[in-house]
Amino acid sequence: MKAFITVLGRDRRGIIAAVSAKLLEYGVNILDITQTVLQNNFTMIMFVELEDPSVTIEMLSDAMDEVAKDISMVIRVQREDIFDSMNRI
Amino acid sequence: MISAHEVMQTLEMFDHQHLDVRTITLGISLQDCAHPVAKIAAQRIYDKITHTAERLPQVSHDISRQFGVPIINRRISVTPIAQVAAASETEDYVIFAQALQRAADTVGVDFIGGFSALVHKGMTRADEKLIRSIPEALAVTKNVCSSVNVGSTRAGINMDAVRLMGEIIKLTAERTKDDDGLGCAKLVVFANAVEDNPFMAGAFHGVGEGESVVNVGVSGPGVVKHALEKLTTTASFDDVAETIKKTAFQITRMGQLVAREASKRLNVPFGIVDLSLAPTPARGDSVARILEEMGLEVCGTHGTTAALALLNDAVKKGGVMASSHVGGLSGAFIPVSEDEGMIAAVENGTLTLEKLEAMTCVCSVGLDMIAVPGDTSAQTLSAIIADEAAIGVVNNKTTAVRVIPAPGKTVGDSVSFGGLLGTAPVMPVHNESSEVFIHRGGRIPAPLHSLRN
């Protein structure tokens, strides 16, 4: 299953490290990353694939909620379908 | 591949423009619950609903979490209770409303609709018993919604039912006077009621429907307004219509995805997506503000009907392509108390009952969530219903009246229901009597559908 992970908040050190370490732990492969910092606001969009069949999107969401708390960012995990269906005919 | 811009734009809709799925509504047939003993019928109703809808809240929660889509309400619609209760030997149908409430509590849904009767041509004994039970039923239950269909394009308008409904609305307000007449906010009088509407108070599971069905209603006035804000004030109506169409497409696609997922997970057929633009009292989620964005100083001024006609049509055109099955009411809603911009326009004196009536000619659904003085006579309420039903019947569209004669209140006061139902300023009605007109009874014949002008 493919998903988008969006990370928003104030820029600081170790955001990508914290997120990607957790993704590795859950067997998630990163397919694409876009990242910008505008006026100290950090925005990252990751396109990922859940490769471990025992990991559900809910489990990944819960894990990312913990990371979000640790690094004081807003992190969301959403299935790819919602973006596809709303933006493609 | 979805671009970063598209991802952020989509998130923006959810976070700042109030885009959400208003409701996943599970329609359930109760036709097999009829029984001569009312208590047994009520138990069957409870059992069937709780069994069929058991997983609805969990499924809704899971979909919301996986897709990151807010789902505001979970609702149930059932076969019009008058048809189920007809077999029972009892005069008082409140027992069935209580069974619906108990089922709603057990399952954990926000509303349950279908304490209803379809009397557009005539009234069975069961229909009349149900209608006469409405004031008590809506007073003793919290989440049960009721609707009565009094007219159709094929049958005309049942004026006996119209007369009765004016009285019932008065009694319902009186019976719930400690809550500003809240019962009336859960009661809608229809012409050309649809069988697959997921929105309340008018949802019921039509007789042409299957055993159970998933219908989804979306909500996105904020997204449409935001899209229009990006146009210049000199952009032509061609551009305005095109922008609304594209936005409606996106909104409906979200509804379609949620509906399909819910259908799969509940193992219940997908019915329709209702593409209505349903406002909420929250700032930035208003249909009135969309109309004002098109260039009207205040909603209700000259040009409002044309603006609404364009909006309603463009929403349908965009939405139809986004979903395999569109149904329900599908248009722009203009409930006064549930729309921050409408409330402001009424308080400002620009938006009047007459203008709202004109607006209902070109949009879904009708005079909705309108508070009128508490001393408004039953006959005047009936006459308001008759006018609105005439618009629906003649124009071959659904119209409805959900009006609250606010107990003990008059123009200048307001009633507050909280939550999605919002706050309604009391609007003036004409004091001149319609009594003789309403007391005639009988039927207004079905309109001719040729020689149209």
| Most distant CA atoms of chain A, gap in Å | 40
Per the DSSP assignment, residues forming a β-bridge with B259 are none
Last-in-domain residue among B191, B211, B229 = B191
How many domains in chain B?
Answer: 2
pLDDT (0 to 100) of residue B331: 86
Q: Are residues B104 and B235 in the same domain?
A: no
Q: Are residues B431 and B302 in the same domain?
A: yes
Give the pair of three-digit tokens for residue A51.
């490769």
Residue B43 domain-assigned? yes
Give me the average pLDDT of each 10-residue run along chain A (89 residues). 95 94 96 91 95 94 95 95 92
pLDDT (0 to 100) of residue B284: 87
C-beta atoms of B256 and A85 within 8 A: yes
Mutate to test the interface with A, among B3, B5, B11 (most CBs of A within 10 A): B11
Residue B278 domain-assigned? yes
- Among residues B185, B182, B206, B214, the alpha carbon closest in space to that of B71 is found at B214
Residue B445 domain-assigned? no
Residue B203 domain-assigned? no
Q: How far is CA B155 from the centre of its chain?
A: 22
Q: Give the class (CATH, top level) of A2-87.
A: alpha beta
The answer to whether B109 and B56 are in contact (CB under 8 A) is: yes
User: Residue B238's CB: how many other CB atoms inside 10 A?
Assistant: 8
The CA distances from residue A53 to A28, A46, A49, A50, B367, in Å, are 10, 20, 11, 7, 52
For residue A44, give the chain B residue with the closest CA. B4
C-beta atoms of B66 and A78 within 8 A: yes
| Helix, strand, coil percentages, rounded to 5, for chain B | 45, 20, 35
The answer to whether A5 and A48 are in contact (CB under 8 A) is: yes
Q: Are residues B423 and B302 in the same domain?
A: yes
Interface of A with B in 13-72 (CB under 8 A): 32, 34, 43, 45, 47, 57-58, 61
Q: Are residues B52 and B118 in the same domain?
A: yes
Last-in-domain residue among B174, B191, B208 = B191
Chain A residue numbers with beta carbons less than 8 Å from the beta carbon of B69 are 82
| Burial A26-63, CB ≥16 within 10 A → b, else e | bebeeeeeeeeeeeeebbbbbbbebeeeebebeebbeb
Q: Are residues B169 and B271 in the same domain?
A: no
pLDDT tens, position by position, B106-124: 999 999 999 999 999 999 9
The torsion angle over the Cα atoms of residues B29, B31, B36 and B41, rounded to 10 degrees, is -10
| B453 pLDDT above the threshold of 80 | no
pLDDT (0 to 100) of residue B253: 94
pLDDT tens, position by position, B380-402: 999 999 999 999 999 999 999 99
Last-in-domain residue among B140, B172, B191 = B191
Q: Are residues B50 and B142 in the same domain?
A: yes
**Min Cα–Cα distance to chain B from A50, Å:** 13
| B445 pLDDT above the threshold of 90 | yes
Q: What is the mean predicted confidence (pLDDT) over B69-93?
A: 97
Structural domain boundaries, residue B118: 22-191
| B174 pLDDT above the threshold of 90 | yes
- Among residues B76, B115, B112, the alpha carbon closest in space to that of B92 is found at B115
User: Residue B301's CB: how many other CB atoms inside 10 A?
Assistant: 16
Give Cβ neighbours of residue B337 (< 8 Å, ≥ 6 apart). B185, B281, B343, B369, B370, B371, B415, B417, B421, B422, B423, B424
pLDDT (0 to 100) of residue B364: 80
Chain B residue numbers with beta carbons less than 8 Å from the beta carbon of A32 are 1
Q: Are residues B312 and B401 in the same domain?
A: yes
Q: Are residues B280 and B371 in the same domain?
A: yes
Q: Are residues B383 and B298 in the same domain?
A: yes
pLDDT tens, position by position, B242-281: 999 999 999 999 999 999 999 999 999 999 999 888 898 8
Residue B202 domain-assigned? no
- Write out A7-76 in H/E/C secondary structure: EEEECCCCHHHHHHHHHHHCCEEEEEEEEEEECCEEEEEEEEEECCCCCCHHHHHHHHHHHHHHHCCEEE
Q: How far is CA B261 from the centre of its chain?
A: 24
Residue B262 domain-assigned? yes
CATH number, domain containing residue B229: 3.20.70.20
pLDDT (0 to 100) of residue B335: 94
C-beta atoms of B257 and A82 within 8 A: yes
Number of H helices, E strands in chain B: 15, 13
- Among residues B248, B189, B238, B212, the alpha carbon closest in space to that of B386 is found at B189
The answer to whether B318 and B244 are in contact (CB under 8 A) is: yes
Give the pair of three-digit tokens for residue B53.
């809808």
Q: Are residues B110 and B167 in the same domain?
A: yes
ipTM value: 0.90
| B282 pLDDT above the threshold of 90 | no
Residue B201 domain-assigned? no
pLDDT (0 to 100) of residue B57: 97
Q: Are residues B230 and B361 in the same domain?
A: yes
Map out the domains of chain A as residue ranges.
2-87
Mutate to test the interface with A, among B253, B256, B275 (most CBs of A within 10 A): B253
Residue B431 sits at the vertex; the CA angle it makes with B428 and B436, to the nearest 5 degrees, is 135
pLDDT (0 to 100) of residue B275: 87
Strand ranges inside B136-203, DSSP E? 144-152, 156-158, 187-191
Mean pLDDT of chain B: 95
Give the pair of three-digit tokens for residue B48.
């069937």
pLDDT tens, position by position, B201-224: 999 999 999 999 999 999 889 999
Residue B143 domain-assigned? yes
Per the DSSP assignment, residues forming a β-bridge with A74 are A8
Q: Are residues B281 and B135 in the same domain?
A: no
Residue B330 CA to residue B325 CA, distance in Å, equals 11
Nearest-by-Cβ selection for B67 from A6, A43, A78: A78
